[in-house]
Structures are given as structure tokens and as C-alpha cells.
A and B are shown apart, each in its own frame.
Chain A
Amino acid sequence: MSKIADDAKNVGDLRAAGQTRRAVLKSGAAAVAASTIFRPTILRAAEPVIRIGHISPQTGPMAGFAEAQEWTLAGIRKVFEPGLKIAGKTYKIEIITKDSQTDESRVSEVASDLILKDKVDILTASSGSLDCNPAANVAELNEVPCITTDDPWESYYYGRNPPKEGFTWTYHFFWGLNEVLAAFIGLWKEQQTNKVVGLLFNTAQDDTSWHDAFAPAIKAAGFTVVDPGQFPAFGNDFTPQIAAFKKANVEIITGNLFTPDFAGFYAQCAQQGYQPKIITLGKAFLFPADVASLGARGVGVTSEVWWTPDHPFKSSLTGISCKELATSYEQATGKHWTQPIPFKHALFEVVADVLKRTTDPKDPKAILDAITKTDLHTIVGHVNWTGKPVKNVCTTPVVAGQWQKNGDRLDIAIVNSGNASEIKVTSKLRPLG
């Protein structure tokens, strides 16, 4: 818009200076001729550019996951500012971001745009299977290297119908259900309860895979499972579930719920005179605002925790510790840190590391080769694709955390390390409420 306005203004200025349209055209033609003559020199002088595409849900229902993206990327861009020295040559690094609007078909569209129009050398995506899966699928199809994160790996990998030998061009790092279950069950085992666990799962595809993993694993750990059945998300009435839990005297509630569903369920629990001892849910308690919105009764809920400022990691890119990352975000924005922030940082740590090790960053095969040989300690843990649990996935640690109130501030305390022994417990489990 402003460019058009400027052009119009320039034309006006030329007219005012008494130049005719013909004269302007002539000088324009001369400029074109000049640029043609000197083009080879100009090309040789220009710094070579590596383009990184990034797709994330900046708007739509998953927007909370990308809320801090601007801040995180500003930090990354500053690191890339002087360019990256790769195989003896300095490259300018350009990060092109696209908003997925939390919409699968929109992701495919912008992924194609990034690959075909912007000609990105490497594609990245984050935050949920709606974003990661279609982006990875488009990359696989176009034979462009792709790295994704911030989406439980089972829904990333199995959600894309993997061929037997795995995918060629697309790699992912994040935790999975086994790690979550180890932390949850580990936490419950340490508490005094009657070992009766009630399940709350929705009917969506991801929820079914959680449900099918949770029920047998909890039973195998010596707990009694009360499963009222899966139900559609955003229900308004939880009377049957509450009645089933009351009848079986359920003391531990677990599952995977959206925050509004949990809020409705929990208020109705109180109205129906039912109070569980422990509530450990996936998804519902990710953001501080989720827990704050529950009021005083929400303090003490437990959930899967991907990262806290107490984690013993540091950035390979900037050297800052987990604590420093959280503090600098809070000082810069005045907002509470959230768990997607370090993962977005780590995604670009991995990309930078891959590019640095590439023999030729303009050759997709060379980039892919560098990805498969990744062995990097990032701010979210160790990333290396060794073929476990599957070819294209590397798992990062996840622990069980409790939202506790310290003064006016809600924060996550680590209450069980699960499979990640390097992450230390920071508090005992406090009672709910």
C-alpha cells in the first residue's frame, strides 16, 4: 500500500520537475539495460542466503502455543544476524514464518508456498498434529528436509500412516505416551490412596490412542481402573461420569481433556458432592492461564510437564540456562513463561546445528544427511535420531508437575521424574485446593 503511494508520489514529483512521461520511460529503460549488463557481478557479490520456513498456529484455537513465537524468534534472528559459516562460506539466514490459522488445509497450502515459491532449504513446523503432520507430509512429497516439534510423537508418526521403513525427509522430536505414563504412575505410587483411578477421555483420534495406552498400563501397575467410556469434547454435562466415580470411590482422576471441559466437570463434581484426592490430566493444565481460570480449587492439579526453568539444560545456540530463558522472557514481555517457548528455541538450535554440519546447505540430501547424524544437547534435552522409538522420532524428557501457589504466583513444581532421572524433583505433592 505504502509502496504504491510512494510510487504515485514519485511520479508526481517527476511531473512537477517538468519531466515528461517519455523521459521517465527512457531513463527507466536505461536503468534496466544497466542492470542487465552488470547482473553477473551483482550476483557474485551478493551473500548467499539460506531460507528456513516455519509454520505454526499464530491464530485459531491453538494460538496460545505460538503466542511467544515473536519473542523467541527475535532472539534466534539476533544470533543469525552475522550469518552462518558453513563449509567455509558465510550464508545469510532468513526465517520465513507462516500462520497456519490452526487449520490443516491451510498448513498444506502455506507449506507448498514455502517450498515452491519461497524456495526454503529446510522446513520447520510446531505445535500440534494439525500443524506438524500436514507440513511434514508436504515436505516428504517435495523431498525437502523437515524438522518438527511440540506434538506428542505417536500422533505425529502414526497419524501420518508411516510406511514400514519410516519416512525419508521428515524428523520430529518430542515426548510420547510411555514417558507420560511413567511419570504419572510413578507419582501416584508414592501417594497414600485406595489405588482406584477414574479415566476421562474424549473421542477424537489422539484421545483414543491415549485411552488405549493408559487403561492397560495403569492396570498393569496395580491400580483399579474405572472407565466410564470416551465422550465427545465440549460436553456440558458430566453427571454420568461423576456418578460412576462416586460409586467406585475413585480417588485419582486422569485422562486428557480440554480446559473448558475440565472446568465444567470440576464445578459439577463439587455440586454433586464429589472430591477426588489427585487430579492428573494431560492437555488441560498446560498454560498458567488455564489453571488460574479454575480459581482457588485449581491449585494443586498435576499434569505432564515438558519443561520448567528448573530443568538442567542449556541452549547450544546462546548458552543460556533454562532459568535465564524463562526470566528473560518474563522481563521482556511481563508475561508468565510457557512450555512451548523452549521447544521453539530448541527447534532452531537443531536447525542451526544441522546447517553448520552440512557439507552443502543448498543440497537437500546433504542437509538430510546432517539431520540423521544430529547429536545435540538442547535447552529441552538431548536430540539425536537413533531409530528409537521409531526411525524419524527422538523423544525428549517429560515429567509430572504440580501447579502450586507461591505468594500470588502459580508455578509448576516437579513432583515426579518418571523416566527422566536427570531432572530432579523440586517439591513433594501438596494436597488439592
Chain B
Amino acid sequence: MIGTLNAMIQGLLLGGLYALFAAGLSLIFGVMRMVNIAHGDLIVASAYFAYFVMQMLGIGPFTSLLIVVPVVAAFGYALQRWLLNYTLGAGDLPPLLVTIALSIILQNVLLIVFTADVHRLQAGPIEIASWAFNSELSVGVLPVLQFVTSVIIIGALQLLFYKSSFGRAFRATSDDQQVAQLMGIETRHIFSLAMALSLAVVAVAGVFLAIRTNFNPFTGPLLLIFGFEAIVMGGLGSLWGTLVGGILLGIAQAIGGQIQVGLPFVAGHVAFLAVLYFLPQGLFPKVSQ
């Protein structure tokens, strides 16, 4: 019984990580209806950048966020402003194709620069620290930190979207790009800011991923599928929905693992399909129809 409870808690915390992977993806889909296939690779690229910064300056992974987040965000702005903006407006396909290409380019550039060797960001004793309640129930400090970070980031994004003039511009652009433009909002700039914000979250996700486990240039695509499932389960474009979707996915996988160790992924996909079947708009549809 306690063993099952323990598994559920681990699943819940893992769900927080999935939500963190998905938050940036959810944000740009919400603002510009763009699916970024290179999202997972950008997470991995951020992890490599953090690794590089740590090696150069001799600092820890959490301190490296002070440099990694702004630099990666600036990269996101430039990426959107001078590349991805040109793909928007001509249907769904161009951004999809360009981000697929970006994904392949990123993987191979990382391979050339950093080789195929695996890396991990060493965070010291916190990696293995935990609160043990009894012999069967034990909660790791790092997973809890991940979960809390994820909730704080999603909460902050939610506040930004609904309580600031900045957010109003985002939402206006998302609702009707042309009218927003008529009202004097420069949509290209807004889109670029949204991507910058998305990549700031990506940078945090990358560092957490890289402390948690090893990564190599080809880790990215594996992260994408859980991110997508979390977003679709939560309801496209809804940030809280993404968090709930991620948690649901994590718990479903934990239940699957309790039944049989081969089942976590299957159970996650079944939960995803069940939500799609009964609630095609997801749990928190942004626009009710």
C-alpha cells in the first residue's frame, strides 16, 4: 500500500518535469499557433550550453542558470525574429518543416562540437538527497525542486498572460493578429518575445534534465512526445492545463509501472487517448466551442 503511494508520488513529481518540458511549447502554441518540433533539441542544446558555461566558469548548474537563461532567451528572440517569423502565415506546414530542419541541424552541430559522448551536470549532494519517511516511502529533494520550479514557472507565466499589459498584447495577437496590428501592436516583435520567453523556460528545463540524467546530442526528440501529450491532455494553449496534463501523464505512467514494469509508456499513452476520446478539447479548453 505504502509502496503504491510512493510510486504515485514519484509519478506526480515526474509529471512536474513533463510539464516543465511542455510549458515553453504550450506558450508559443498559445500565442502563435506554431508547433515547434525542435523544442526537445533546444532543451538539449541549452543543457550543452549550461555544461559549457559550468566548465568555463567553474560554477554549479543552478548558478549557471543566471547566464544560460538570458542567453538562450536572447537566442530565442533572434530565432523567431529572423527565421521563424518568415514561416508564419502561409499555413501550418512551413513552420513545421523549418523546425524539423532546425532539429536535425541542432543535433548534428552538437555532435560536431561536443562529440557523441554523454554528459551530465554535476549538482553535488542534492542529486541523491531525499526525505525518507519510512523504508518504503522516500521523496527525493531534486524531484521536489523540479516540481516546485515547474509550478512556479507556469504560475508566473499565467500571471504574465492575464495580469500584465504585456500579456494583453500576447493574448490580443493570439486572438486576432490583424486587428492587433491595427491597434498598433507589432506582432513580429510580440512573437519574438513569446519565443524568448519560451526558450527561457527551455533553458531551465534543459538544466534540470541534465542534472537528472545523462544527455547526448540525440536526446531531444524523446522529450518532445511527453511534452506534446501533456499539452494536448491539458487543452491546447492553456498553461495550467499543461501542468495538469503533465501530472496526469506522470501518474498514469506510475500506475502502469505498478501493474507491470513494461507498462509505464503504454499506460501514459492510454491515458492520453482516453482524454482525447472523452474530452477532445482537453481538460481545460482555452476556447469553449
Instruction: Tell whether A273 pairs with B138 under 8 Å between CB atoms, given A239-B7, A264-B213, A290-B118.
Output: yes
Number of interface residues of B (CB under 8 A): 47
Instruction: Tell whether A228 pairs with B261 under 8 Å between CB atoms, given A259-B214, A297-B128.
Output: yes
Contact present for A263 and B120 (CB under 8 Å): yes
Q: Which residues of B lie under 8 Å from residue A62 when comparing CB positions? A: 116
CA distance A295 to B120 in the complex (A): 9
Interface size class of A (residues with CB under 8 A): 35 or more
B residues with a Cβ closer than 8 A to A are: 3, 6-7, 10-11, 14, 17, 108, 111, 115-120, 122, 127-130, 132, 135-136, 138-143, 212-216, 218-219, 222, 250, 253-254, 257-258, 260-262, 264-265
Instruction: Tell whether A237 pairs with B3 under 8 Å between CB atoms, given A267-B212, A267-B213, A287-B117.
Output: no
CB-CB contacts below 8 Å: A267-287 with B? 267-268, 270-273, 287
Contact present for B213 and A229 (CB under 8 Å): no
19 A-B pairs in the complex with CB atoms less than 8 angstroms apart: A63-B111, A232-B262, A236-B17, A237-B250, A237-B253, A237-B254, A239-B11, A240-B258, A246-B136, A260-B214, A267-B213, A268-B10, A268-B140, A270-B130, A271-B142, A271-B143, A287-B117, A289-B118, A293-B120
Contact present for B118 and A260 (CB under 8 Å): yes
Contact present for B7 and A240 (CB under 8 Å): yes
Q: Which residues of A lie under 8 Å from residue B222 when comparing CB positions? A: 234
Contact present for B262 and A64 (CB under 8 Å): no
Contact present for B7 and A293 (CB under 8 Å): no
CA distance A290 to B139 in the complex (A): 26
In the complex, what residue of chain B is closest to A57 when comparing beta carbons?
B116
CA distance A61 to B138 in the complex (A): 34
The reply to whether the CB of A213 lies closer than 8 angstroms to some CB of chain B is: no
CA distance A228 to B143 in the complex (A): 24
Q: Which residues of B lie under 8 Å from residue A240 when comparing CB positions? A: 7, 257-258, 261
What is the CB-to-nearest-CB distance from B138 to chain A, in angstroms, rounded to a whole number?
5
Contact present for B213 and A263 (CB under 8 Å): yes
Q: Which residues of A lie under 8 Å from residue B258 when comparing CB positions? A: 240
CA distance A272 to B7 in the complex (A): 11
What is the CB-to-nearest-CB distance from B139 to chain A, in angstroms, rounded to a whole number?
8
Contact present for A231 and B138 (CB under 8 Å): no
Instruction: Tell whether A230 pairs with B117 under 8 Å between CB atoms, given A237-B254, A237-B257, A264-B212.
Output: no
B14, B117, B218 — most chain A CB neighbours (10 Å): B117
